[in-house]
Amino acid sequence: MTLADILKQEQIVVELQAADRWQAIDELIDVLVSCGKIKPEHRDAIVSVVRKREGSMSTGIGFGIGIPHASTDLIGEVVGALGRSTRGVNFDALDNQPVKLVMLFLVPQGQFQKHLHTLANIAKLLHNRDLRQALEQAPGAQDMLQIIKTHAGTK
């Protein structure tokens, strides 16, 4: 499962309002609720499971990237949302740098292999410096999605 498989234009936030990783997680989960990927009544439980995972170790992996993720039985398929912050979000990242691209994803409970493969694919894609720079400079969500599809090899 690649980033291009997970994202639709309405799941991309061009400018996150969040100042820290907790606010970024809330903001991206709210996007998933608003576009029907998460049921509103499951929002708080999903926020809790993502925060618990993030609390055990920051998913700020360096290079301005944060990939908060979790498994939950409250979804039936892999879902995700991408947020960009031009000023950067304090993510307690491994390199102590602000995070500019936050890719939150959720995997159905019990799909460990899919979880690992999705995380690896997203991390590999976002480690591409040209892709990150293009995403940081893209004017809108449609442009960001097209950049992802191009880099993922799915036009």
What would the DSSP string read from start to end of 93-147? -TTSPPEEEEEEEEEETT-HHHHHHHHHHHHHHHT-HHHHHHHHH-SSHHHHHHH
Known catalytic membership, residue 69: yes
Nearest to 99 by CA among 127, 60, 64: 64
The catalytic residue among 69, 117, 127, 151 is 69
Do residues 57 and 86 lie in contact, with contact meaning Cβ atoms separated by under 8 Å?
no
**Cα separation, 151 vs 147, whole angstroms:** 6
Nearest to 115 by CA among 70, 85, 76, 150: 70
CA angle 142, 146, 150 (to 5 degrees): 175
**Cα separation, 145 vs 135, whole angstroms:** 9
Residues taking part in catalysis? 69
